[in-house]
Chains A and B, each alone.
Chain A
Amino acid sequence: MEKCIKRYFPVFLGPTFLAFLIGFIAPFLMGIYLSFCDFRTVTDAKFNGVQNYVRAFQDGDFAHAFWFTALFTVTTLILINVIAFAVALVLTREIRGTNLFRTVFFMPNLIGGIVLGYVWQLIFNGILSRYDLALKISAKYGFWGLVILICWQQIGYMMIIYIAGLQSIPGDLSEAAEIDGANGWQRLWNVTIPNMMPSITICTFLTLTNGFKLFDQNLSLTAGEPMKQTEMLALNIFNTFYGRVGYQGVGQAKAVVFFILVVALGLVQLNMTRSKEVQQ
């Protein structure tokens, strides 16, 4: 049997690897090359050195988008994880209808980002219009609108991961602590959370990268209005690439910078939370 797998592994892995090569590696390398080119369509590109990167860093909107995205990511990272963890704690107690609640909380995650954006735009505008206000007239509304939307969408997903983590903690640990006289908070801080570190690593990684990569919801909820003040990095790159004549190369350069940024942040975060994980 093992021999068989060894002999035929190219048959099994080949197609997937090929698809990965064509669908990911090739466009990725092409994208890096294009970021050093002046081009209109991807098939005819002229090399122009680092000029695209220079123009990308000179763009004030790009810098604004970075800070806006960073602020947004930090806010949602904290809110989503704290609330998802709390919900997971509640829903691992023996309460009636836990399964129903879990399903309901998870459901927003099944709706596409564009649809969510439009639905929430209607909700927010519906409420704000009572006060003769609208979502797009202030960056503050746009920011909190996005935060609410993303929390609503992602809390359920993170909750599922936390529930799985909570269920894998052996009950005797907590019981032993209780017998030793630890109160609820102490048990949470010193027993549950250290044992939950693998889940926390995953969830913070997901919320961090999701926050940085957010695009659909941003596009359909605020589209960057007012005056590009709620434009996040991904949307800024999209608008640079598609919205401006002759800026395709700059958009591509921004995309490469964006990639490096997300990877770097992701790695730093993984290292930070991993080091806190304990062996059971």
Chain B
Amino acid sequence: MKKRLLTLALALVMALSLAACGGGSGDTQPSGDSQPAGDSQPAGDSGSSDASGAVYYLNFKPEQDGAWQALAEAYTQETGVEVKVQTAASGQYETTLMSEIAKTDAPTLFQVNGPVGLANWKDYCYDLSGSQIAGELSSDDFALMDGSSMPGIAYVIETYGLIYNKALLEQAGYTADDIKSFADLKKVAEDITARKDELGFSAFTSAGMDGSSDWRFKTHLANLPIYFEYEADGIGDTEAIKGTYLDNYRAMWDLYINNCTCAPTLLSAKTGDDSVAEFVTEQAVFYQNGTWAFGDVADLGEENLGMLPIYIGVGDEANQGLCTGTENYWCVNKNAKPEDIQATLDFMYWCVTSDTGLDYMCSGDEGKMGFVIPFKGNLESTNALVNIANDYVAQGTTSIKWCFPTMPSEEWKNVLGSALTAYAADQTDANWETVRAAFVDNWAAEKSK
């Protein structure tokens, strides 16, 4: 009896392990099969020779995931080339890329955030110089160069600032014309806070420091003191930042956290979604974010949305514009199969030249991306925030450059973010010293690694 039980148990184990193996191979087989099928079918359909190969795009922007999926489908319908789009979760791009690129079925198209990101992925980047898409760039400034090779090409130009709700600002007794400097902003914000109960709303949305949106402060807001320091010193990058304008950074951060919808001690528990929700439900007047967030805030109505430069009390504030630049560079995986590289190049070219591609990239309609693209084919945008940004440029203000691609590492940003959160909870000089150390000392430490 005992032996029979043992045999039974063993048989069960075997059956289970076989089933497990079967499950595994069942997963891989179809995808292995579909590849050649996908290869041969389009060739037969369209008869074009470049229709072999497939594209795998690892997308960085979760807010545009739907649009990319639709665009990929449209491309497959038009040309028969298979395009797979996968989107990394917010803040997980490097992690996802690292594990994806080690696979046999690696992304053929991915992105880096500028020179610092490129340093990590240089060995995987196909030289795009002389490619069709490089010829479409509206300015050579938008190519990411490494010596004479061109490993990356920017595909979107973005702008951020202080988005505000016009109706609420008027209700508080002000208009955008009253805010022309940091001092003005401080006055308005503190006045709103003083009358918070009477008005029923706050000046700023909560900062969302739980990690889902702290990049708005550890990266985007931190860009301003870095930009002004670079300007003052006439440089574009540095091994050791001095932190000349850190006091202004502190003043701005103080303003944000002490005039928002919740107590500053609660900021570490707030998310980016909380922040958006507070803005859309009219609990706050100001919301620091950029053109990419238009879809989130469009419900307030175009006529109700405005954008102010982020004044931190440095430089020529009267002529200060919004922060414009890019940290999104397309790179083609050098190690992909030649036909896949060709398919990827064709896809990129199609995205920025064909009518369908341009419509998806530039239109601000529901389900489209609403980008400003640095290519000749760029269409007039229906993204209200983009149009506001264009107005600023037309008025002759000086745009603030995006200097944060020169930040030493993700680690630098993360440490700064934690320090900002800790300071928000307990606003002492000692805690600000931690922020200063994270900003200045850690810059040099991380750059030297």
Contacts and interface: CB of A to CB of B under 8 A. Distances in A.
Interface stretch (B10-18, B236-244, B368-376): B10-18
A12 B410 contact: no
B339 to A, nearest CB: 21
Interface in A164-192: none
17 contacts: A4-B7, A5-B10, A12-B14, A15-B18, A125-B269, A132-B263, A134-B268, A135-B269, A136-B210, A137-B421, A137-B425, A225-B268, A226-B421, A242-B94, A243-B95, A243-B410, A245-B409
Contacts of A12: 10-11, 13-14
Contacts of B6: 5
Interface in B374-420: 409-411, 414-415, 418-419
A136 B102 contact: no
Interface size class on chain B is: 35 or more
A214 B111 CA distance: 33
Interface residues of A, number: 36
Contact of B13 (A16, A40, A138, A242): A16
B98 A11 contact: no
Contact of B98 (A125, A129, A242): A242
Interface string A232-243: 000000000011
Q: Which of A2, A134, A226 has the most CB of B within 10 A?
A: A134
Contacts of A121: 269
A223 interface: yes
Contacts of B444: none
Contacts of B3: 1-2, 5
Contacts of A133: 265-266
B268 A5 contact: no
A42 interface: yes
Nearest to B104: A43
A49 interface: no
Interface in A98-138: 121, 125, 128-129, 132-138
A246 B10 contact: no
Given A132-B263, A134-B266, A136-B210, A19 B422 contact: no
A276 interface: no
Chain B contact residues: helix, strand, loop or mixed: helix
A136 B421 contact: yes
Contacts of B13: 12, 16
Interface string A126-153: 0011001111111000000000000000
Contacts of A213: none
Nearest to B449: A246
A244 B98 contact: no
Interface string A217-234: 000000101111000000
Given A5-B7, A135-B268, A225-B268, A242 B418 contact: no
Given A16-B13, A136-B268, A227-B418, A40 B411 contact: no
Give the top 7 A-B pairs by smallest Cβ distance, nearest first.
A41-B102, A137-B425, A136-B268, A134-B269, A15-B17, A12-B10, A132-B263
Contacts of A129: 266, 269
A5 B18 CA distance: 18
Interface string B1-42: 001101100110110011011000000000000000000000
A134 B425 contact: yes
Contact of B211 (A40, A43, A223): A223
Nearest to A133: B265
A133 B415 CA distance: 21
A41 B102 CA distance: 6
B119 interface: yes
